[in-house]
Amino acid sequence: MFRIILVCLLMLLLMPLSSGDSLQAWQKQIYDHTESFPHAALYTLQQDELLMQEMVSMQSQHYKTEPEPYTTSAQFIAVGDIMMHSPQVPSGYDAATDTYQFDAFFREVAPILKEGDWVYGNLETPLAGRERGFHGYPLFNAPDELADALKQSGFTVLSTANNHSLDQGIEGLRRTLEQLQDKELTAIGTHLSLEDANDITFIKQHDINMAFLSYTYGTNGIPIPEEMAYAVQLIEEERIIQHIQTAVAQQADVVTVALHFGAEYVREPSEAQKELAHRFIQAGADIILGSHPHVVHPYEVVTTTDEDGHPREGIILYSLGNFISNQGPAQGTPMYTDVGIIFNITIEKSFPDHTITFPTIESIPTWVHKFYDNGKRQYRVLPIETFLANKDDSFLREDEYTLMERYMKEMDEHVHQYILETPQ
């Protein structure tokens, strides 16, 4: 009989007290359940107030163990192609010290970049060393100080998988990765060992675990050595899907996939690019980062479902354009090759269910300003809106402000084209 009473008490223990319930009311419920058992009278809580209080305390502790919901957030910032054409190299040279310094390239955008928890760009030049000579297109090789400037301006992650990965051969690739590692910049997409190639790069910020993957369509016909087939990650759909699924299985909150693909100077992705990017989102990727066209493409937000059938969003940045280069209409390349986009994406993680959302996606158009100072051609990446708001820069001409106004309007419409077309 006593066991029956205990079962009754335990069942009542699991019933939550409402805000209006009193201890006496709960005692009465238990007494009502036990009064039909005369032999149990000795065990009623009316006779054992201490036991009753202990059970209330146990119930209170039980409900306190439920985790309180909360959220954490972090900023992911991404830019496009970081190039070093031949005319850019002398701009950073100091003859007195025989050294290079390229901080001025990024000085005007560094405050924006430094707001990011992860800051990504596509490094489209090897750092193969001075002894090989510094070159622009078609076989790039830039001074190591470019990496110093990138680090100083806020970059944390650089994709090295692109069509110029092997411009200076495997040894050039090796030295590039060593230089980036020495400067504590994370390189993705190229590798020096099979073990490294099989390991997925994770970087956690504010309890949000982001996985980084990177691939290229090719290496400009330069063969990847057979014994080092892992050195440059190529776009192979099934293999990429396996990598995405592995990242998800290894507890990635966000899977970011960089794809060096598309047609140069074409301002929208092909249907094949769209379909491929969508398949990667459906496989579990969250953010696609496109590069190679050297012009900005519209971006897209895709709604899909996770493995449990819950809706989730994916972001596809088909091409972020040129971040820094010597390209532009005045240099003989098509219109818009001197324009890029800084994307600033807020990533929010909700606890205890660990769901990921993207509350804000900000696009910041940039323009590469080329000008002469102290007899040397100089370069700097300008956030267009900021410079239009002030119009007090001593190096900018009126016609350049007019050009930036045009770029600002056209980029705002162009980059949001797919978003505006999506039914609300």
Question: Do 12 and 29 form a contact (C-beta atoms < 8 A)?
Answer: yes
Q: Residue 116 — very low, low, confident or very high, per pLDDT cuts 50/70/90? A: very high
* Percent of all residues in the chain with a pLDDT value above 90, rounded to a whole number: 80
pLDDT at 260 over 80: yes
pLDDT digits (tens, 9 = 90+) for 289-304: 999 999 999 999 999 9
Rounded CA separation 81/321 (Å): 6
Using alpha carbons only, give the angle 5, 10, 14 rounded to the nearest 5 degrees.
150
Q: Which residues pair with 315 in a beta bridge?
A: 287, 301
> Could you give phi then psi for residue 345, rounded to 5 degrees?
-110, 125
Question: Do 288 and 317 form a contact (C-beta atoms < 8 A)?
Answer: yes
Q: Residue 16 — very low, low, confident or very high, per pLDDT cuts 50/70/90? A: very low
pLDDT at 15 over 70: no
- Report DSSP state, residue 190: B
Question: Do 319 and 291 form a contact (C-beta atoms < 8 A)?
Answer: yes
Q: Residue 305 — very low, low, confident or very high, per pLDDT cuts 50/70/90? A: confident
The pTM of this model reads: 0.84
pLDDT at 27 over 60: no
Question: Do 152 and 192 form a contact (C-beta atoms < 8 A)?
Answer: no
Instruction: Determine what percent of the chain falls in helix, strand and coil, rounding each to the nearest 5.
Output: 35, 30, 35
For the stretch 368-391, what's the b/e string if a residue is b when 16 or more beta carbons lie within 10 angstroms of its beta carbon?
bbbeeeeeeebbbbbbbeebeeee
Domains of the chain: 2-64 (no CATH), 71-421 (3.60.21.10)
Rounded CA separation 360/362 (Å): 6
Question: Do 371 and 395 form a contact (C-beta atoms < 8 A)?
Answer: yes
Q: Which residues pair with 377 in a beta bridge?
A: 372
Q: How far, CA to CA in Å, does 83 sit from each of 14, 88, 326, 395?
A: 65, 9, 8, 23
Tokens representing 116 are 């990011």
| Residues counted in the chain | 424
Q: What is the pLDDT of residue 8?
A: 46
Rounded CA separation 101/190 (Å): 26
> Could you give phi then psi for residue 308, rounded to 5 degrees?
-95, 5
List all residues 6 or more positions away from 246 whose beta carbon is below 8 Å from its beta carbon: 200
